Chains A and B, each alone.
Chain A
Amino acid sequence: MSFSRRSALLTGAALGVAPLSRARAQANTIRIGVLNDMSGPYRDISGPYGVACTKQAVAEFGAQGFNVEVINADHQNKPDVGAGLARQWYDQGVDLILDVPTSSVGLAVSQVAKEKNKAYINTGSATSDLTGAACQATTVHWMYDTYMLAKSTGSAMVKAGGDSWFFLTADYAFGHALERDTANFVRAAGGRVMGQVRYPFPSTSDFSSFLVQAQASRAKVIGMANAGADTINTIKQAAEFGITRRGVKLAALLMFLADVHALGLQTAQGLVLTESFYWDLNDRTRAVTRRLLPHLNGAYPNMASVANYSAALHFLKAVKDMGVAAAKASGTELVNRMKAIPCDDDAFGAGSIRVDGRKLCPSYLFEVKSPAESKGPYDYYKLLGTTPAGEAFRPLNEGGCSLVRS
């Protein structure tokens, strides 16, 4: 190979100088950064769909005297990558970071937002700590959290007739917390907990013995206090054992429309789960779904992707309300304004944001339809029960958030 020392040195020098230019923020442009998982386990829940929903919100908001720019990046579910990107974005003039699934990343970005005094709306993480012990004046938590999932699935399920429960729990802090919270709601609603089995986490892939144990308890509902691949495996194996066909309900505590789509109705039928949005809920949700569909590559919106639409719209309203210069100056003030003005959009309806950063919306308990009941694409859910916005989330004084004055 003819590669002289001199040409090598010249190439090296040229490469070294190249990346010196940096993006500069413009005074009249509001920048929204969507930070989520584009390549890992949460991609199909939000990922590119969350970005498309944010862009749709910007398009619907229209020209209001300032420009809006949407950028996005993949945090690869690594807290250090996420926190690093968040720092960089905020320093380079991004005014809002949106989405951020995976609790460890979500909490890390919340710290960065506080440090930089910039707005942060988390729609993707489930941890209720974001509005509890770890709450910040710059953070808003949209759509859902573990408390809301446990409450809706736990108490609404008992009201719908599922009054005896058996838990299949991943043996780590998250699983324990889900099981504990849900069991409390089951008991509070008058149901009974027949028992629980804890399986080693991670790396359990064969759930058959646990499922047989759950079935032997004769409970009407098997609660799966786990997430992700574990939940999917449990559902598949329960379908093979014919558990759901014998009238036992499987209750997933953390699951989305995209997961049901991936499993297929044959396997997922009879599954019970909670979401705060379903496209076929009412005229407004159908209307927003119609507008979003052309941008989603054939997928239907679920609560995680559409929450970005709702949150971005509300953020832009607050920016318009207080003016671009004031909005750029202080994330705390911007979030205070977001808390002060009422939320209303087609996806989640009317709502509000509490002082601890919690966005309030109703939660819905759904049952997955059987293939025979399903009439069209993504016609997957039937509504079992609704928890109104005021009751769906943890009471303000129980979260331990320092922003709440008692």
Chain B
Amino acid sequence: MASETTLTAIPTGVVGKQAPGIWGFNGSQLIALLVLVAALALAPFFLYPVFVMKLLCFALFACAFNLLIGYVGLMSFGHAAYFGMGGYIAGHAAKVMGLTPEISIIAGGLVGAGLGVIGGWLAIRRQGIYFAMITMALAQMVYFFCVQAPFTGGEDGIQAIPRGKLFGVISLESDMAMYWVVAVVFLFGFMAIHRIIHSPFGQVMKAIRENEPRATSLGYRTDDYKLVAFILSCGLAGVAGATKTLVFGIATLTDVHFSMSGEVVLMTLVGGLGTIFGPVVGAAVVVGMQNYLAELGAWVTVIQGGIFVACVLAFRRGIIGELGNWFKVKL
């Protein structure tokens, strides 16, 4: 019992007082959440549903990544491995094994988390740049595995994956049906991350981010906390990858390639590190650019690079971080 009280009490002191609110959301976050839910409900009627679904999958991926870098301070450079592998597993489960979409998504998440156990167990032994390099090396190993393994289809990928029937009953072939499933998966993941951050466990995560030796001196086994956070992040990345695979009906090397690991860093940075809503906005910006600027041809990558530089130089807190700063609220 004694340890439980320290769990809640001490880290709160480390990071400052929590504002009261509903489910751990403070007032401004609650408004932002309502805006987000309203946007989710209205988006498919104004924007192209498949585009919004893609955006949500990447938003969940970025949120999962942000859980690590924004709240534990661990910079993973290999998150594409968990995202892409989740996609491959879901694709294989849905196409070859004929499983229903919800089981395929769960399978993708579990494999992402499973890989996270191995990756995290190795990587958390080192810090800073060494941590990043280990995660990147492991991700490259996963990439090479996907190039060679027979079930991934090499550079053609797994194609023509059926969306199937939810719970074996509701057909997801129509884009709107699929949209609501993706929206629910996204909201579930988003709320889960929010819950994790605002749990006593999350308080310890933040304590580790602020000052790891001090957290250790307070009696926390920081390695265990870091490992669990890593696994949670990888599992959610796997869920995001699996959902994306079902939306498009394809799983390919693009999603395990290291440039995808870079893209998720970009999304999180543009949106705002360590903010709950930042990665969602960042994903919207990056995916929106890829989609709406496709007609400009070669300029997509140039503009992406420009935005990254502008972000790092001019507003380092990211879009949501700067907004929160202007309005003096925590988003």
Most buried by A among B248, B291, B296, B323: B248
Q: Using Cβ atoms and an 8 Å threshold, which residues of chain A touch B47? A: 19
Beta-carbon contact of B54 and A84 below 8 Å:
yes
Beta-carbon contact of B254 and A80 below 8 Å:
yes
Beta-carbon contact of B154 and A88 below 8 Å:
no
Within 8 A of A (CB), among B277-331: 290-291, 294-301, 323, 326-327
Instruction: Determine the distance from Cα of A87 to Cα of B179 in the docked complex, in whole angstroms.
Output: 15
Beta-carbon contact of B294 and A75 below 8 Å:
yes
Beta-carbon contact of A104 and B156 below 8 Å:
yes
B244 touches A (CB below 8 Å): yes
Beta-carbon contact of B254 and A78 below 8 Å:
yes
Within the complex, the shortest CB–CB distance from B261 to chain A, in Å, comes to 15
Beta-carbon contact of B147 and A76 below 8 Å:
no
Beta-carbon contact of A108 and B248 below 8 Å:
yes
> Known contacts A5-B327, A72-B295, A134-B160; is A111 also within 8 Å of B249 by CB?
yes
Q: Using Cβ atoms and an 8 Å threshold, which residues of chain A touch B156? A: 103-104, 107, 127, 129, 173
> Known contacts A5-B327, A104-B155, A107-B159; is A80 also within 8 Å of B248 by CB?
yes
Beta-carbon contact of B50 and A88 below 8 Å:
yes
Instruction: Determine the distance from Cα of A26 to Cα of B294 in the docked complex, in whole angstroms.
Output: 23
Instruction: Determine the distance from Cα of A8 to Cα of B323 in the docked complex, in whole angstroms.
Output: 9
Beta-carbon contact of B290 and A111 below 8 Å:
no
Which range holds the interface residue count of chain A? 35 or more
Q: Using Cβ atoms and an 8 Å threshold, which residues of chain A touch B147? A: 172, 201-202
Q: Using Cβ atoms and an 8 Å threshold, which residues of chain B touch A74? A: 294-298, 300
A389 touches B (CB below 8 Å): no
Q: Using Cβ atoms and an 8 Å threshold, which residues of chain B touch A329? A: none
Residue of B nearest to A177 (CB): B154
A372 touches B (CB below 8 Å): no
Q: Using Cβ atoms and an 8 Å threshold, which residues of chain A touch B298? A: 38-39, 43, 74
B48 touches A (CB below 8 Å): yes
> Known contacts A76-B290, A79-B254; is A39 also within 8 Å of B300 by CB?
yes
Beta-carbon contact of B290 and A81 below 8 Å:
yes
A73 touches B (CB below 8 Å): yes
Within the complex, the shortest CB–CB distance from B31 to chain A, in Å, comes to 12
Beta-carbon contact of A83 and B250 below 8 Å:
yes
Within 8 A of B (CB), among A1-51: 3, 5, 8, 19-20, 38-39, 43, 47-48
Beta-carbon contact of B291 and A84 below 8 Å:
yes
Within the complex, the shortest CB–CB distance from A69 to chain B, in Å, comes to 13
Within the complex, the shortest CB–CB distance from B184 to chain A, in Å, comes to 21
Instruction: Determine the distance from Cα of A17 to Cα of B290 in the docked complex, in whole angstroms.
Output: 20
Instruction: Determine the distance from Cα of A201 to Cα of B155 in the docked complex, in whole angstroms.
Output: 12
Q: Using Cβ atoms and an 8 Å threshold, which residues of chain A touch B327? A: 5
Beta-carbon contact of B159 and A108 below 8 Å:
yes
Beta-carbon contact of A104 and B51 below 8 Å:
no
Beta-carbon contact of B254 and A91 below 8 Å:
no
> Known contacts A80-B54, A173-B155; is A71 also within 8 Å of B48 by CB?
no
A207 touches B (CB below 8 Å): no
> Known contacts A39-B300, A74-B294, A76-B294; is A104 also within 8 Å of B48 by CB?
no
7 chain-A/chain-B pairs, Cβ below 8 angstroms: A3-B326, A73-B294, A81-B291, A81-B294, A127-B156, A171-B148, A172-B147
Listed in ascending order, the chain A residues whose CB lies under 8 Å from chain B are 3, 5, 8, 19-20, 38-39, 43, 47-48, 71-81, 83-85, 87-88, 91, 103-104, 107-108, 111, 127, 129, 134, 171-174, 201-202
Given contacts A39-B301, A77-B254, A108-B252, 13 further A-B contacts (CB under 8 A): A39-B297, A39-B298, A73-B297, A74-B294, A76-B300, A79-B250, A81-B290, A84-B291, A85-B294, A104-B253, A108-B157, A111-B159, A173-B156
